[in-house]
Amino acid sequence: MSPIEREYFDMFFFSALKSYKGAFHMSPDYSWWYGYADVLGHLATIRDEAETLRSNDTTRKRTLFMLFTGPLMVLAVLGIVWAVRRRAVKA
């Protein structure tokens, strides 16, 4: 189970339930401080963790792109240099 899944579990099964029960029993203080405010805290944590995972994935994709295309670019530049030198020698 990932940390995001655990956070969502806690938010859904504990905090949201407290918010619901507080509203049902007409206790706005309990509904807010023990329910909805806690839900917002869990939601902020989930969003932060999701952003971290997305940025890590983007960084990984960019790194893999550079690892695969870097040697190809070097070969392309060396090929061009070799072709230019070969023409210069023939001329």
Amino acid sitting at position 8: Y
Mean of per-residue pLDDT scores for the chain: 87
Element (H, E) at 69: helix 37-90
pTM: 0.60
DSSP 8-state symbol, 91:
-
Residue 1 has pLDDT above 80, yes or no: no
Residue 47 has pLDDT above 90, yes or no: yes
Residue 29, Cβ density class (10 Å: 0-12 exposed, 13-18 middle, ≥19 buried):
exposed
Position 3 pLDDT exceeds 90: no
Q: How far apart are CA 66 and CA 44, in angstroms?
A: 33
What confidence score (pLDDT) does residue 33 get? 83
Burial (CB < 10 A; 0-12, 13-18, 19+), residue 79, is exposed
Q: Is the pLDDT of residue 91 over 80?
A: no
